[in-house]
Amino acid sequence: MHQETCELTTTHRCQTIDVMPQIQRFLAGCGPTHSGILLVFSPHTTAGVMINEKTDPHVRQDILDHMQRLVPADSGFTHAEGNSDAHIKTMLTGVSVQIPVVSGRPLLGTWQTVYFIDYDGPRKRELLLTFLRKGE
Amino acid sequence: MHQETCELTTTHRCQTIDVMPQIQRFLAGCGPTHSGILLVFSPHTTAGVMINEKTDPHVRQDILDHMQRLVPADSGFTHAEGNSDAHIKTMLTGVSVQIPVVSGRPLLGTWQTVYFIDYDGPRKRELLLTFLRKGE
Amino acid sequence: MHQETCELTTTHRCQTIDVMPQIQRFLAGCGPTHSGILLVFSPHTTAGVMINEKTDPHVRQDILDHMQRLVPADSGFTHAEGNSDAHIKTMLTGVSVQIPVVSGRPLLGTWQTVYFIDYDGPRKRELLLTFLRKGE
C-alpha cells in the first residue's frame, strides 16, 4: 500500500480544484506496473471530492451554483459556526472517490477528472491518496 | 485483481438498469472462493451508480422523478451543451459503489440491488467492474 | 480480510448514530499493525452512511432537517409503502464510506466521525465492516 497526503490551498469560499496532477504524480511514484484501487479521501467536514467533467469550466460553475440553490447558507440552521450549508453540501458530494487502476493507469472515462471541492474556504486543506494494490 | 468492462445501452434520457446480472456473472468468473471488495464504477460524467430497492419499480421512478425536481433541466445553467442538470445529478448520485464480497458472494442486503443510472441517454455506456481480493 | 456485522437499533424515524466505537473495536480486533482500506457498508435501502462533523450535535440536526426540506415525505410519490423519501435520502447520502487505515489507525480528519443514518426507523439495523489490508 502507498499512502500520501497532498496540501491544497483554496482562495474562495466555494471552489473546485482539479487534483489529477497530484494523482498522476502519486501513481507514478507507486511504480508503473501496479494494479489496484485508488482511494482519494478528503479529511474535512466542509470539503468533499467528486469525479466530473474536465473540459468545460462552466460545468463546475453550474455545479457550485446549483449546490447553493439546493442548500442556501441562510436556511435557518442552528449550528453556531454558521457553516451548516457547507456540512450538508459535503455530505451530498461525499468525501471520497474510488478509482480502478490498471498497470499504473487510472481507468477514468474520457471526460472525467477528479475535483477537490471546498465549500467553506478559503483555507489550507489536505487530500489523502491511498493505493491498495494487488499482489502486495 | 479481476477487471472487466460491461457494455450497456440505454433507451431513454433518464433510466435505471439493474446490473446485478453483470455483477453475478463477473464474480462467478473470478472463482467462488474469493473474498474482497468489488468496485462498480461508471466512467461517465452524466451517468452514475447507486444501490437501492430491487423489488418495486415505483421506487426507481420516484427517484428519477425527484431528481428532476431537485435539478430541473432549465435552471439557468451556463454550460453550452445544455446537460448541466445531468452532470449535477451524477455528482449527487456518485459514480461508484463498493460492495464487500465473501466467498464469491456480494454481501448486499435483502432489498438491495445495484443500478446504473443514465441521466443523459439514450446512449451506449460502459461500466467497470473491479474485484480486489484478499490473498492476491 | 476481516469482516464483521454490527447490530444497531434506532429509536426515531430519522436518526444518526456515531459508529466510531464499533469501528475502533473492529480495527483493534484486526491487529494494531495493519494498513489498508476500511469499507463501512449499510445493507439497507432506507439507511445510509456518512462522514461528517463529530462535535456539535446541531450539525447532525441541521443535516436531517435539511434532508427533510430537500425530500419532503409528501412529494406525490407512487411507491405503495409510502417511504420513497427515505429511499431518495439514502441515495443522496450513499450506503458506504471508505477510510484509509495506516497501522491500525483510521486516517479520519480532526473533526470527522462516521455516522449511520436511518431515514425510516425506528428499526433494528445492521452495519457491515470490511477491512481489506495490505500484505494478505
Domain boundaries, chain C: 2-133
C24-39 mean pLDDT: 92
A53-59 mean pLDDT: 94
Crossing angle, helix C57-70 and helix A84-93, to 10 degrees? 60
pLDDT for B31 equals 85
**Residue A119 Cα, gap to closest chain B Cα (Å):** 15
Q: Which three cell numbers stand for residue A130?
A: 491511498
B2-133: what fold? Jelly Rolls (2.60.120)
Chain-chain contact of B77 with A93 (C-beta, under 8 angstroms): no
B99 touches chain C (CB under 8 A): yes
Strand, coil or helix: A81: coil
pLDDT for B80 equals 78
pLDDT for B55 equals 94
B12-16 mean pLDDT: 98
> For all residues of chain A together, what is the average pLDDT?
95
B98 touches chain C (CB under 8 A): yes
Chain-chain contact of A84 with C59 (C-beta, under 8 angstroms): yes
Cβ-nearest to B93 among C70, C71, C91: C91
Chain-chain contact of B75 with A53 (C-beta, under 8 angstroms): no
If one compares A49 and A135, the residue with the highest pLDDT of the two is: A49
pTM of the predicted model as reported, rounded to 2 decimal places: 0.97
Residue of A65, A66, A95 to mutate when probing chain B, most B C-beta within 10 A:
A66
- β-partners of residue B132 are B37
A48-74 mean pLDDT: 96
- Residue A117, CA distances (Å) to A97, B53, B86, C119 in order: 12, 30, 18, 26
Residues of B in contact with A62 (CB under 8 A): 77-79, 84, 87-88
Residues of A in contact with C63 (CB under 8 A): 84, 87-88, 91
Residues of A in contact with B45 (CB under 8 A): 51-53, 59, 109, 111-112
Angle at A107 between CA C35 and CA C51, to 5 degrees: 45
pLDDT at C32 over 80: no
Q: Which amino acid is at B118?
A: D
Whose cell is 467492474? That residue is B129
Residue of C71, C91, C125 to mutate when probing chain B, most B C-beta within 10 A:
C91
pLDDT at C135 over 70: no
pLDDT for A80 equals 78
74-93 in chain C: CB under 8 A from chain B: 75, 77-81, 84, 87-88, 90-92
Cα gap A45→A119, rounded to integer Å: 9
Q: Which three cell numbers stand for residue A126?
A: 489536505
pLDDT at A135 over 90: no
Q: What is the ipTM of this complex?
A: 0.96
Chains touching chain A, criterion 3+ CB pairs below 8 Å: B, C
**Residue A82 Cα, gap to closest chain B Cα (Å):** 23
pLDDT at B14 over 90: yes
pLDDT for B134 equals 84
B111-135 mean pLDDT: 95
Cα gap A86→C109, rounded to integer Å: 16
pLDDT at C136 over 60: no
Q: Name the band, by pLDDT with cuts 50, 70 and 90, for residue B136.
A: low
Q: Which three cell numbers stand for residue A95?
A: 468525501
Whose cell is 420513497? That residue is C84
